[in-house]
Every structure is written in C-alpha cells, then in structure tokens.
Amino acid sequence: MLNERELMIAGELYNSSDAELVQMRMKAKQWTYLYNEVIPVDQGQERSKLLNSMIDCPTQDAYIEVPVRMDYASNLHIGSHFYANYDCIFLDVAPIRIGNQVMLGPRVSLYTAGHPIDADVRNKQLEYGHQITIGNNVWIGGNTVVCPGVKIGNNVVIGAGSIVTKDIPDNTVAAGNPARTIRKITNEDKIYWENKQKEYLKRGTDK
C-alpha cells in the first residue's frame, strides 16, 4: 500500500496535510530562506553546496538566481548547465525533469500541482500532481507558465508570457496563451546565428 508521498509522486490523489509531506515542505521553505536571504550572493561555493544538497543535479553545475520558490526541491531533477533567472517557481509536487543546457527567463513557473474540479473532493485537502518534462537545449522566456503534465521537446524556444498547456514538439518555437507552435527551427536559423557569432568574434580580433 502506497503512502501519501508515494501517491503524490505517482500522480494519484493524495492528502497534502500528511505529516511527512508537511515536514518536507517546511524543510524546503527553510532551505529557500537560507538560499534567498541568508547566504551572501558572493559566497558562490556555499550557495552551490546548499543548492546541490536539495535538488537532484548530478553535474552539480546548476545556477539559480534569487529569489526562487520550491514546494519540495527534492523532486527537481536537472541536467547539466542549467540556468534559472530571478523569481522562478517550481511547484514540484510531481517530478520536474529538465535536460541539459536549459535556460529559464525571469518569473518562469513550472506547476506540476493540480486540484480536483469537484469542490467537495477539493475541500478534503486532496490534490494531485503530473510530471513536467523539459528536453535538452530549451530556452523558456520570462513570465511563462508550464502546466501539469506538459512535455517540452528538445531544442525548443518558448516565447515570453506563454501559458503552456499542451506538449511542444522538438525543434520548434512556441508562444501564446495557450501556447502553440509558431514555426520549426530550421537550418536557416543555424546559419543566421552562426554568422552573427562570426561577426562578434571578428569584432574581438579587430580591437
């Protein structure tokens, strides 16, 4: 028989007032307080040590600007070279799985948490969570909200202010409320930006 934490991770209804879950959320609140308010921003090694004690990032190179908010932190699984800008929110009731080379703009919110539509059930403190999955090489613009159960593919750009309610396929630009695929990312994009990079590097050699 599954306990409430196991039900939560499995995406089933669970009771959020369960003593173990309350304790886990309190631990995350204490951690975010230390990270946001106590450890000075110039103490990078201490801040990184604290961050890696809470989240799952095997490469231990994630960088998250302050302030940040998390429900549990322990359900946040991150690949290499992750960056999150100011005011990001991770409601990690269910797992949030993020690939390599992912960038989040300011105030990006990843919401795995959901509540029953029926008020009588909802008022019993029963809720659920559905996993969010983000692939490799993804850039999500500021003030974007990613809803429960969404999968964002590899090499995706999400426009600022988007509300992502459905899966986004690989190699696309998406934006809007609700977010929709605007176009594919093509080889022409690669050529354009590689040329811009060459111009930048040439300016450096001309100095």
What residues act catalytically? 115
Tokens 């939560």 locate to 8
Residues 6+ apart with CB under 8 A from 87: 67, 68, 106, 107
Residues 6+ apart with CB under 8 A from 94: 8, 9, 11, 75, 112, 113, 129, 130, 131, 132, 148
Query: Do residues 160 and 177 lie in contact, with contact meaning Cβ atoms separated by under 8 Å?
Result: no
Q: Does the bond joining 178 to the residue before it have cis omega, within 30 degrees of 0?
A: yes
